[in-house]
Structure 1
Amino acid sequence: MAPLDVPASTRSSAEQFAAEERLSTPEGKKDFWRATFSCWLGTAMEYADFALYGLAAGIIFGDVFFPNATPVIALLSSFATYSVGFVARPIGALFFGWLGDRKGRKIVMIATITLMGLSTTLIGLIPSYASIGVWAPTCLVILRFMQGLGAGAELSGGTVMLGEYAPAKRRGLVSSVIALGSNSGTLLASLVWLLVLQMDKESLLAWGWRIPFLSSVLIAAVALFIRRYMRETPVFERQKALLEAQRQQVLSTNSVPAKEQDTRSFWQKSRAFWTMVGLRIGENGPSYLAQGFIIGYVAKVLMVDKSVPTLAVFIASVLGFLIIPLAGYLSDRFGRRIVYRCFCLLLMLYAFPAFTLLDTREPVIIIPTIVIGMGLASLGIFGVQAAWGVELFGVTHRYTKMAVAKELGSILSGGTAPLVAAAMLSYTGHWWPIAVYFSVMAGIGFITTFFAPETRGRDLNLPEDAI
Structure 2
Amino acid sequence: MEFTHQLRRAKIAAATGTALDQMEMTLFSLAAALVFGHVFFGDTSPAVALIASFGVYGVGFLIRPIGGLIFSHLGETKGRKWVLSTTVMMMGAATFGIGLIPSWQTIGIFAPLLLILARCVQGAAVGAEYTSGTTYLTEIAPIGRRGRTASWVWAGASAGTVLGALVWFVVMSVFTKQQVLDWAWRIPFWMTIFVTFFAMWLRRRLQESPVFVEKQKAFKQRAENAAPLALAFKNSKLNMLRVFGLTFPCVGHSFLYQAFMAGYFVNYVVKDGDGGKIFSSATSVGAVVGIGGALLGGYLSDKLGRRTAGLIYTTIMMIFPPIAFLLINTGQFAAVVAVMIFCFCFPAEGAMGVQSPQLPEIFGARNRYSAQTVAREIGAIGGGLLPMIATAIMAAFEMWVPVAIMMVILMAGAVLTTYLTPETKDRDLYELDDAM
Is the pair's TM-score, using the shorter chain for normalization, greater than 0.5?
Answer: yes
* Counterparts of 1:151 and 1:289, CA distance in 2: 18
Unaligned runs of 5+ in 1: 1-25, 249-255, 258-263
Question: Corresponding residue for 1:211?
Answer: 187
Match for 1:116: what amino acid? Answer: M
Q: Structure 1 residues 378 and 346 mapped into 2: Cα distance closer, same or farther (>3 Å)?
A: closer
Pairwise CA distance, 1:302? 1.8
Moved more, 234-243 or 53-62: 234-243
Question: Corresponding residue for 1:286?
Answer: 253
Pairwise CA distance, 1:186? 0.4
Q: Verify: 1:296 aligned to 2:253, yes or no.
A: no
- Determine if contact 1:235/1:461 at 8 Å carries over to the other structure: yes
- Determine if contact 1:316/1:371 at 8 Å carries over to the other structure: yes
Q: Structure 1 residues 361 and 70 mapped into 2: Cα distance closer, same or farther (>3 Å)?
A: farther
Pairwise CA distance, 1:376? 4.3
Question: Corresponding residue for 1:140?
Answer: 115
Question: Corresponding residue for 1:11?
Answer: none
Q: Verify: 1:34 aligned to 2:9, yes or no.
A: yes
Match for 2:189: what amino acid? Answer: F
Structure 1 segments, 4+ long, off by >4 Å, are none
- Determine if contact 2:310/2:354 at 8 Å carries over to the other structure: yes
Deviation digits for residues 292-332 of structure 1 (CA, Å, limit 9, x no counterpart):
11011101222352111111100011112322211111111
- Determine if contact 2:154/2:291 at 8 Å carries over to the other structure: no
Q: Verify: 1:324 aligned to 2:299, yes or no.
A: no
- Determine if contact 1:284/1:377 at 8 Å carries over to the other structure: no
- Determine if contact 2:155/2:292 at 8 Å carries over to the other structure: no
Q: 1:226 aligns with which of 198, 202, 219?
A: 202
Secondary structure of 1:415 counterpart: helix
* Counterparts of 2:179 and 2:236, CA distance in 1: 56
- Determine if contact 2:104/2:110 at 8 Å carries over to the other structure: yes
Question: Corresponding residue for 1:393?
Answer: 363
* Counterparts of 2:185 and 2:262, CA distance in 1: 17
Q: Verify: 1:417 aligned to 2:386, yes or no.
A: yes
Secondary structure of 1:450 counterpart: helix
Match for 2:270: what amino acid? Answer: M
* Counterparts of 1:129 and 1:92, CA distance in 2: 28
TM-score after normalising by structure 1: 0.88
Q: CA RMSD in A?
A: 1.9
Question: Corresponding residue for 1:114?
Answer: 89
- Determine if contact 1:163/1:175 at 8 Å carries over to the other structure: yes
* Counterparts of 1:397 and 1:98, CA distance in 2: 9
Q: Verify: 1:75 aligned to 2:45, yes or no.
A: no
Q: Structure 1 residues 362 and 29 mapped into 2: Cα distance closer, same or farther (>3 Å)?
A: closer
Q: 2:413 aligns with which of 424, 427, 444?
A: 444
How many residues in Structure 1 have an aligned counterpart in Structure 2?
A: 425
Match for 1:97: what amino acid? Answer: S
1:138-177 superposed matches below 5 A: 138-177=113-152
Deviation digits for residues 389-410 of structure 1 (CA, Å, limit 9, x no counterpart):
1101111111111111111111
TM-score after normalising by structure 2: 0.94
Pairwise CA distance, 1:450? 2.1
* Counterparts of 1:69 and 1:339, CA distance in 2: 46
- Determine if contact 2:313/2:348 at 8 Å carries over to the other structure: no
Q: Verify: 1:461 aligned to 2:430, yes or no.
A: yes
Match for 2:310: what amino acid? Answer: Y
Q: 1:359 aligns with which of 329, 349, 353?
A: 329
Match for 2:247: what amino acid? Answer: R
* Counterparts of 1:347 and 1:449, CA distance in 2: 13
